[in-house]
Chains A and B, each alone.
Chain A
Amino acid sequence: MAHPVLLLPLLAALAAPAPPRPSPAVTPQPPGKLLAFPFPVEVKTLPNGLRVALVPYDSPGLVAYYTLVRVGSRNEAEPGRSGYAHFFEHMMFRGTKAHPGDEYNATVTRLGLDTNAFTDFDMTVYHLYGPSKALPTIIEYEGDRFRNLEFSEEQFRTEAGAILGEYAKSASSPNLKLVEKMLETAYDRHTYRHTVIGYLDDIKKMPDGFAYAREFFRRYYTPDNATIVVAGDFDGPKTLELIGKAYGGWQGKLKPVAIPVEPPQRKARRAAVEWPAPTLPRVWVAWHVPGASDLKATAVALVLNAYLFGPTSPVYQDLVLGRQLVDGLDATGSVQRDPPLFGALARVKKAADVAAVEQAIAGAAGDLARGTIDRGRLKDVVSNARYSAALALDKADSVAVTLAVNTTYTGDLQYLNKLYAQVEAVSAADLSAFARRWLTDANRTTVTLATKKEVAQ
């Protein structure tokens, strides 16, 4: 039972290894002051626009090497192309002329590295973690694949099968369909209306998308759209020199496709999923809230997620412990570049109670807008954020991923610290104002899931 204030983003957990979230930071400082990312970061930008962030961290003999590319399913604006950012992440392991895929793989293996990547709405992140002595080779190989990636159409078509397999591994759980339905109901125009892994129909057509994938690479895999984060035990000047050499010749300028703006939602929406197998019914209530560039609103949303739906909230204590109508209640907020969804998802024990649970979740938001704030609980949420921050970032890998992920939202390497400074400052009045502005009936989308029989009843 860990209850960090930053909650699992169900929305994002659907492609590749689940991206660790803006989990905050570390060590010997007492948790009185909230500096979520307490380590000094040395930043250098190469002439081609590539940014490099170096974070020394006490992990003798080990280093984490992360490359953030600010591209994700958010950039999949063309119809029928859902899932391409993630598919492309897979293709990045297919190698170059100098280091073909099997040689890349043999090399990172021989060096003892944990190697992988993940894709989310707003980002694709490539990572290697292992012995510091491998760093020169890592830099050479990573520089080579970001500049010179080359895969054949045969490889591309074969890899599409692995994506289908990745979809299949999640398909037995009702959550995948539930997320698909929530996104396409809550969003009319913005690309957040499809999941990161993409629609099954689009995945099945992926083998024919070779030319599009090449175009995707040209548009987004450019030095000015990437940030390298190195954390752990390494020689700073030497690392910068090697990166300069390996990536200096990387050319190209970001050519983003316009992402449709989501118009304000004017009327409450609702959808239902009929699930073919026995399951606990689910109800998910969500509201559109501001994107990451609105620091203040993002901080309030983070606090409110725990305040409204966390384990000490009246809703949780009523539904889970009091009336015991639900088996689990998860807050579903997340930080995203463009306006994300905020809300709560409940697994209900009996179909007959779905309406009551929905009312409790939606009602809590309404009460907040109307009523007074429990200042003691607000204080507890901020305290939880402080302690969570002080306990996280306990290894080089966590340090690197936290910095990479939190840099994607606005491009600012200091984003996490700025956000947490706002979290500290959230007042009772902020909570009410946020609820009045965003947690309204018209801005709400509700999706339920139940078996066919239950739906009929």
Chain B
Amino acid sequence: MNPVIHGALLLLSALAVATPAQAPAPATPRLLTLPANNKAAVAIQLRFRTGAVDDPPGKAGLTFLAAQVMVEGGAGPLDAKALLGALFPIAAELDVRVDEEQTTFIAKVHRDALDKLLPILTDVLLHPRWDVKEFERIQAAAVNDVDKRLRQGDDENLGKAALHSLIYRGHPYQRLRLGHVSELKAITLEEAKAHAARVFTADRLTVGVAGGYPEALPGLLVKALSGLPVTGAPAVAVAQQKGSGRPRFLLVEKPGASTAISMGMPWELARTSPDQPAMSVARSAMGEHRQFNGRLMQRLREARGLNYGDYAYIEHFVQDGGNASAARTGIARRQQELSIWLRPVQNENRLFAVRAALYELQRSLVEEPFSPVEVAQTKGFLDGYILLFDQTDDRKLGYALDGAFTGPAGYLAGWRQALDAVTPEAVNAAWRKWVDPSRLQIVLVGPDMAEVKRAILANQPTPITYQDASVKRPRPQLDADAEIARFPFGATAEADVEIVPVEKLFE
């Protein structure tokens, strides 16, 4: 299903790589509609070209907090209680997601109840109440979310967030989009309100509509939202992050029986890159998210029982809800990254696991490139699996809006079609061209990090401890174990390994 792109969006799409400063600034929001159908649900996504990159210095989390207060704090005649009371009987979804460069106000409602939701949605954008009591409540929740949930009760996401911040040091993506604790606490209601007026502006907005909507809906939305300020803050430049690869390790000191591990590096690979289809095959063969086919999953979990899962990604990835095949939309970015996620490993095996991932990466580049059989199998996999990515109207709309931002239009269909021509040679050539293990940076979240640092700098052997030593394992695996136990960490100088207490992270 092809999205119908209106007016200025055509231009935007053609200029997808241009900086915002060069793009025209229309007085009314752009519109992107998918053809209306007879489904019960109407999906509306108001996509603003703003996000955490627009948080001013010392105000990390401002865009996120302002957007949350708009959606939850009451709007127009409805205070926060009345807002819940209006949404609940019609089971309407009203939410907002803030990423680095994109913020999406999401509404999903039964078409019979659309007239009830519509004034609420436009009031959230045009007339948020900014009640001080609601602001303080939502601010406190945002602080607790970072301070108590992320830093203390969610090691896997903490590891990913710490890696993100590490590989983007000095880049607009460095700060946590959810905010930093002391900065969030210092934000005032007036600052949130002023910030919203600067970033949720008509020139940054694309109105997306899909599902069983009435013909008049897109026009009504655009007309109403033309009441937004025409323009506001200048666009933030997002230059490509070079990435020094240093420090090699960031060790987050935190108690626990297991250690969360993430590694990655920034790069310029994009969905529009000619290498994207070949790289998608390599990525999937290395470690498809929450599937069993990847080398990392097969060798770390299936053969060695090191942990629950091991995956690789060639662009920023967040799973959307409970389905493994659903990558969140609305997180399209102009700067991308390679990452590897090892789910928590028992502390005794954590450095073996790090080395095993580095070892497998090295093998994929040199001694054991992706075989024709692996490539054929992975191409078959993606040919079917991509079909699952946009089964619902809201997901189709999300992909279309992403395409309008970073390109290409028709991303999923184009990707799937391009797979046919991908050869094993192309897969390995692209993988070798893009992946540079010496630039990888590595985060561990767990206890006793001074000891870990010593082991890394001394390149100390770290043999695997099998949970059950009585099992007879195949000779090649035991030989590989011995090699992995001594595989170089790639860190020799004191400054290559930083330790940070968890309380200091995102403070």
* Contact status B91-A109, CB under 8 Å: no
A421 at interface, CB cutoff 8 A:
no
* Contact status B81-A112, CB under 8 Å: no
* Contact status A28-B293, CB under 8 Å: no
- Roughly how many angstroms separate A324 CA and B141 CA in the complex, as a whole number? 10
A310 at interface, CB cutoff 8 A:
yes
Please name all residues of chain A whose beta carbon is closer than 8 Å to the beta carbon of B303 when the two chains form the complex: 158
Looking at A70-78, A164-172, A261-269, A410-418, the stretch in contact with chain B turns out to be: A164-172
* Contact status A384-B91, CB under 8 Å: yes
* Contact status A129-B388, CB under 8 Å: yes
Residue of A with least CB distance to B303: A158
- Roughly how many angstroms separate A31 CA and B380 CA in the complex, as a whole number? 41
* Contact status B140-A112, CB under 8 Å: no
* Contact status B291-A114, CB under 8 Å: yes
- Scan A263-287; emit 1 where CB is below 8 A from any B CB, else 0: 0000000000000111110000000
Chain B's nearest CB lies how many Å from the CB of A92?
12
A172 touching B88 in the complex, CB below 8 Å, given contacts A112-B387, A164-B346, A387-B113: no
A363 at interface, CB cutoff 8 A:
no
Please name all residues of chain A whose beta carbon is closer than 8 Å to the beta carbon of B325 when the two chains form the complex: 114, 129
- Roughly how many angstroms separate A215 CA and B298 CA in the complex, as a whole number? 27
Please name all residues of chain A whose beta carbon is closer than 8 Å to the beta carbon of B84 when the two chains form the complex: 1, 3, 311-312, 317
Please name all residues of chain A whose beta carbon is closer than 8 Å to the beta carbon of B293 when the two chains form the complex: 105-106, 109
Please name all residues of chain B whose beta carbon is closer than 8 Å to the beta carbon of A171 when the two chains form the complex: 256-258, 344
A279 touching B384 in the complex, CB below 8 Å, given contacts A1-B71, A154-B472, A312-B88: no
Residue of B with least CB distance to A118: B322
* Contact status A109-B291, CB under 8 Å: yes
Looking at B147-155, B397-405, B488-496, the stretch in contact with chain A turns out to be: B147-155
A174 at interface, CB cutoff 8 A:
yes
Please name all residues of chain B whose beta carbon is closer than 8 Å to the beta carbon of A29 when the two chains form the complex: 40
A380 at interface, CB cutoff 8 A:
yes
- Roughly how many angstroms separate A270 CA and B384 CA in the complex, as a whole number? 51
B144 at interface, CB cutoff 8 A:
yes
B381 at interface, CB cutoff 8 A:
yes
Within 8 A of B (CB), among A1-60: 1-5, 17-18, 20, 26-31, 59
Please name all residues of chain A whose beta carbon is closer than 8 Å to the beta carbon of B6 when the two chains form the complex: none
B377 at interface, CB cutoff 8 A:
yes
* Contact status B81-A30, CB under 8 Å: no
- Scan B121-157; emit 1 where CB is below 8 A from any A CB, else 0: 0000000000001101100110010011001111110
Please name all residues of chain A whose beta carbon is closer than 8 Å to the beta carbon of B308 when the two chains form the complex: 162, 165-166, 168-169
Please name all residues of chain A whose beta carbon is closer than 8 Å to the beta carbon of B87 when the two chains form the complex: 1, 3
- Roughly how many angstroms separate A112 CA and B303 CA in the complex, as a whole number? 23
- Scan A163-202; emit 1 where CB is below 8 A from any B CB, else 0: 0111011011110000000000000000000000000000
Q: How large is the interface on B (under 10, 10 to 19, 20 to 34, 35 or more residues)?
A: 35 or more
B22 at interface, CB cutoff 8 A:
no
* Contact status B384-A165, CB under 8 Å: no
Chain B CB count within 10 A is highest, among A17, A158, A397, for A158
Looking at B48-56, B432-440, B463-471, B478-486, the stretch in contact with chain A turns out to be: B463-471
Residue in A114, A129, A166, A280 whose CB lies within 8 Å of B144: A280
Chain A's nearest CB lies how many Å from the CB of B447?
11
- Scan A305-338; emit 1 where CB is below 8 A from any B CB, else 0: 0000011100001001100100110000000000
* Contact status B152-A279, CB under 8 Å: yes
B80 at interface, CB cutoff 8 A:
yes
Please name all residues of chain A whose beta carbon is closer than 8 Å to the beta carbon of B93 when the two chains form the complex: 1-2
A253 at interface, CB cutoff 8 A:
no
- Roughly how many angstroms separate A134 CA and B255 CA in the complex, as a whole number? 47
* Contact status B391-A395, CB under 8 Å: yes
Within 8 A of A (CB), among B310-343: 322-325, 343
A109 touching B81 in the complex, CB below 8 Å, given contacts A115-B292, A130-B387, A172-B153: no
* Contact status A277-B292, CB under 8 Å: no
Please name all residues of chain B whose beta carbon is closer than 8 Å to the beta carbon of A433 when the two chains form the complex: none
Please name all residues of chain A whose beta carbon is closer than 8 Å to the beta carbon of B92 when the two chains form the complex: 2, 387
Residue of B with least CB distance to A59: B391
* Contact status A110-B381, CB under 8 Å: yes
* Contact status B385-A112, CB under 8 Å: yes
Chain B's nearest CB lies how many Å from the CB of A454?
13
B307 at interface, CB cutoff 8 A:
yes
A17 touching B384 in the complex, CB below 8 Å, given contacts A165-B344, A312-B84: no
* Contact status A172-B155, CB under 8 Å: yes
A443 at interface, CB cutoff 8 A:
no
A240 at interface, CB cutoff 8 A:
no
- Roughly how many angstroms separate A391 CA and B95 CA in the complex, as a whole number? 16
* Contact status B470-A157, CB under 8 Å: yes
Residue of B with least CB distance to A152: B471
* Contact status A384-B88, CB under 8 Å: yes
A168 touching B113 in the complex, CB below 8 Å, given contacts A162-B307, A324-B137, A391-B108: no
B345 at interface, CB cutoff 8 A:
yes
* Contact status B81-A321, CB under 8 Å: yes
A112 touching B292 in the complex, CB below 8 Å, given contacts A30-B112, A165-B305, A394-B39: no
* Contact status A62-B387, CB under 8 Å: yes
Chain A's nearest CB lies how many Å from the CB of B117?
11
* Contact status A397-B380, CB under 8 Å: no
Residue of B with least CB distance to A276: B255
- Scan A197-226; emit 1 where CB is below 8 A from any B CB, else 0: 000000010010000000000000000000
* Contact status A168-B90, CB under 8 Å: no
* Contact status B112-A321, CB under 8 Å: no
- Roughly how many angstroms separate A347 CA and B291 CA in the complex, as a whole number? 33
A349 at interface, CB cutoff 8 A:
yes
Chain A's nearest CB lies how many Å from the CB of B351?
16
A109 touching B377 in the complex, CB below 8 Å, given contacts A114-B291, A116-B324: yes
Please name all residues of chain B whose beta carbon is closer than 8 Å to the beta carbon of A173 when the two chains form the complex: 153-154
Please name all residues of chain B whose beta carbon is closer than 8 Å to the beta carbon of A312 when the two chains form the complex: 84-85, 88
A387 touching B39 in the complex, CB below 8 Å, given contacts A171-B258, A278-B152: no
* Contact status B468-A112, CB under 8 Å: no
A131 at interface, CB cutoff 8 A:
yes
Chain B's nearest CB lies how many Å from the CB of A388?
4
Within 8 A of B (CB), among A389-413: 390-391, 394-397
- Scan B255-290; emit 1 where CB is below 8 A from any A CB, else 0: 111101000000000000000000000000000001
Please name all residues of chain A whose beta carbon is closer than 8 Å to the beta carbon of B343 when the two chains form the complex: 165, 168-169
Chain B's nearest CB lies how many Å from the CB of A426?
15
Within 8 A of B (CB), among A117-133: 129-131
Residue of B with least CB distance to A388: B91
* Contact status B144-A62, CB under 8 Å: no
Residue of A with least CB distance to B290: A116
* Contact status A395-B392, CB under 8 Å: yes
B473 at interface, CB cutoff 8 A:
yes
B301 at interface, CB cutoff 8 A:
yes
B207 at interface, CB cutoff 8 A:
no
Residue in B38, B301, B381, B473 whose CB lies within 8 Å of A162: B301
- Roughly how many angstroms separate A114 CA and B388 CA in the complex, as a whole number? 8
Please name all residues of chain B whose beta carbon is closer than 8 Å to the beta carbon of A153 when the two chains form the complex: 471
Residue in B137, B298, B380 whose CB lies within 8 Å of A111: B380
Residue of A with least CB distance to B80: A321
Please name all residues of chain A whose beta carbon is closer than 8 Å to the beta carbon of B39 when the two chains form the complex: 27-28, 394
Chain A CB count within 10 A is highest, among B80, B91, B323, B471, for B91
Residue of B with least CB distance to A113: B384
* Contact status B323-A394, CB under 8 Å: no
A-side residues, CB < 8 A to B, are 1-5, 17-18, 20, 26-31, 59, 61-62, 93, 102, 105-106, 109-116, 129-131, 134, 153-154, 157-162, 164-166, 168-169, 171-174, 204, 207, 276-280, 310-312, 317, 320-321, 324, 327-328, 347, 349, 379-380, 383-384, 386-388, 390-391, 394-397
The 21 listed contacts between A and B (C-beta, < 8 Å) are A30-B112, A31-B40, A62-B391, A109-B291, A109-B378, A111-B384, A112-B384, A112-B386, A114-B385, A154-B472, A162-B308, A165-B309, A165-B343, A166-B308, A168-B307, A312-B84, A384-B91, A386-B91, A387-B91, A394-B392, A397-B388
Other A-B contacts than A165-B345, A384-B91, A387-B110, 4 sampled, CB-CB below 8 A, are: A2-B95, A62-B388, A113-B385, A312-B85
